[in-house]
Amino acid sequence: MTEVKKAIVVGSGAGGAAVANELQGSFEVTVVEEGQEFKPFTRDLRASARWKKSGLFFDEREISLLFPAMRILKTKEIVLVRGRGHGGTTTISTGNAVRQDGPLKRLGINLDEEFEAIGREIPISADHEKHWRPATKRLFEICRDLGLSPWPIPKMGDYAHCRHCGRCVLGCPAGVKWDSRQYLASATARGARLMSGARVTRVLIQNGTAQALEIKLGLRKKTLPADLIVLAAGGLGTPLILQRSGIPYESRLFVDPVLCVAAVREGSDLDREIEMPFVVEQDGFIISPYFDLLSFFYNRRWSFPAGDIVSLMIKLADRPEGSISSRGVQKVLYPEDWARLEEGVALCREILSGLGIPKERTFLGTINAGHPGGMLPLTEKESRSFHHSALPGNLYVADASLFPQSLGMPPILTIIALAKRVGRVCRERFA
Ligand SMILES: Cc1cc2nc3c(=O)[nH]c(=O)nc-3n(C[C@H](O)[C@H](O)[C@H](O)COP(=O)(O)OP(=O)(O)OC[C@H]3O[C@@H](n4cnc5c(N)ncnc54)[C@H](O)[C@@H]3O)c2cc1C
Ligand code: SF4
């Protein structure tokens, strides 16, 4: 009888769960995840807002004390948000499902088959549109009348049952939103093993082959041997593991910065609306209604009742330049990033003027970002192998680190498609 090879996947987010699901069966898969089981944040937000005046909310990094699945890293300019726990950042996503493989197609990568499979596995619809709140409908009309061609954004999940509660980034209390725990459940149901609370520190490499992972379980160190290792610790997590393993990567970090332009409009109730119901696409950025919880709790300019704030997000495709290492994150916004943000702010103000809000009554949020990637970008050379030459032959990456540039758009579907392909390549090469 031939022995089944052992594969270890690091991370259980979009890339990790998808690749684990692809590999299980052909390999004996273990998923190593730093975080624990995901639990949504359940407190009443309007009631919690009463504490704002107490001065208890002074730094965004506190969030993880109340809500361990959300982690924050800060640079001087940007608050970086990511998920930690089963499902990674997908559990705190807003569920947007858009195919964005243009930059990969330009490298000669065709992911049609993978996207077709995703279409069969994940329910995707814009059903939420039927129950938008009046303020959302009005914003959509204003954008349409300005010739901005807004479109309702498709979402992953069963949106006919969406309660429009506005808690998407805190974990959906109604089980409407799809997240990558479903791929994880499918893999574990077929025998994959999930190790929670285990932080991978480095890959142990000998004679050009990845032999094992070094992990930390609390204070204990452990070594996990494997025939195949796939890193999917996210755009900020994977580079750190590469660095500790002595593998070079590129300083091409992008993060897709987000800035909200807000104003007071009584009774808008956009804090109780689905996040990002529709989108307006512009050259290099998008605009979408978004009640920014981080700004609401931590930015003094947002000291108004949640239900009275109307807010539009600008999400930018930023210059892919920056880095993360054990010394911290180096990421600044360049003049072209600021210029696009300014363009976005002007357009948001024009949209809000359609609600009768003068420009001088608008206020800005805190710049934050949640789509990191780009530090081990694919090139034409790797368009078939999906394997970077800096990596040992049996070590792969399956997350946003592989993107050649920022998508400036929600990346989950494209990360899943890439991870599925990495899984297929690994099956064909090793299983
Ligand atoms: C608030 C917010 C809303 C978003 N909304 C959307 C959206 O609507 N649609 C969309 O397409 N995208 C959205 N995104 C982005 C999307 O969620 C991420 O880009 C995507 O989940 C990244 O997938 P990943 O597999 O690369 O990493 P992640 O999903 O971040 O998963 C990485 C996993 O690896 C684990 N890990 C990290 N380091 C280690 C280590 N050393 N050892 C073990 N485990 C480790 C982490 O705990 C995590 O679980 C959003 C992001 C944020 C922050
Ligand atoms: S608005 Fe509420 S019910 Fe709808 S997907 Fe978001 S969290 Fe779930």
The preferred substitution site among 162, 271, 293 for testing ligand 2, maximizing ligand atoms within 8 Å of CB, is 162
Closest CA to 166 of 293, 17, 5: 293
Closest CA to ligand 1's atom 19: 371
pLDDT tier at 19 (50, 70, 90 boundaries)?
very high
DSSP-assigned letter for residue 89? G
Whole-number Å distance, alpha carbon 179 to ligand 2 midpoint, is: 12
- 236: Cα separation from own chain's centroid: 11
Residue 1: the pLDDT is: 58
Closest CA to ligand 1's atom 51: 370
Whole-number Å distance, alpha carbon 128 to ligand 2 midpoint, is: 9
- 38: Cα separation from own chain's centroid: 15
- Encode pLDDT of 350-367 as tens digits: 999 999 999 999 999 999
Which residues are bridge partners to 151 per DSSP? 279
Whole-number Å distance, alpha carbon 73 to ligand 1 midpoint, is: 14
- Encode pLDDT of 301-350 as tens digits: 999 999 999 999 999 999 999 999 999 999 999 999 999 999 999 999 99
Residue 56: the pLDDT is: 72
Residue 395: the pLDDT is: 98
Rounded CA separation 49/297 (Å):
7
Which residues are bridge partners to 313 per DSSP? 260, 288
Residue 417: the pLDDT is: 98
The preferred substitution site among 90, 177, 230 for testing ligand 1, maximizing ligand atoms within 8 Å of CB, is 90
Give the residue carrying structure tokens 């949209």. 351
**Measured from the CB, is residue 92 less than 6 Å from ligand 2?**
no
- pLDDT above 70 covers what percent of the chain? 99
Residue 381: the pLDDT is: 95
3-state helix vs strand vs coil in the chain, percent to 5: 35, 25, 40
The preferred substitution site among 412, 413, 416, 422 for testing ligand 1, maximizing ligand atoms within 8 Å of CB, is 412
Closest CA to 250 of 242, 262, 258, 259: 242
Question: Angle formed by the axes of helices 335-353 and 134-145, to 10°?
Answer: 110
Closest CA to ligand 2's atom 6: 168
Ligand 2 atom nearest residue 175's Cα: 8
- Encode pLDDT of 35-71 as tens digits: 999 999 988 888 777 777 777 777 889 888 889 999 9
pLDDT-wise least confident of 163-167, 210-214, 252-256:
163-167
Ligand 1 atom nearest residue 276's Cα: 8
Ligand 1 atom nearest residue 369's Cα: 53
Rounded CA separation 95/64 (Å):
21
**Measured from the CB, is residue 276 less than 6 Å from ligand 2?**
no
Closest CA to ligand 2's atom 2: 165
Whole-number Å distance, alpha carbon 14 to ligand 1 midpoint, is: 6
Higher pLDDT, 42 or 188: 188
DSSP string, 178-219: --THHHHHHHHHTT-EEE-SEEEEEEEEETTEEEEEEEEETT
Mean pLDDT of the 181-204 span: 98
Rounded CA separation 312/214 (Å):
44
Type of residue numbered 428: E
**Measured from the CB, is residue 165 less than 6 Å from ligand 2?**
yes
Which residues are bridge partners to 204 per DSSP? 212
Mean pLDDT of the 381-405 span: 96
Checking if the pLDDT of 154 tops 90, the result is: yes
- Contacts of range 143-146, beta carbons closer than 8 Å, 24 or more positions apart: 143/278, 143/280, 143/287, 143/351, 145/354, 146/350, 146/351, 146/354
Rounded CA separation 402/398 (Å):
7
Whole-number Å distance, alpha carbon 261 to ligand 2 midpoint, is: 22
Ligand 2 atom nearest residue 273's Cα: 1
Closest CA to 262 of 168, 355, 113, 365: 365
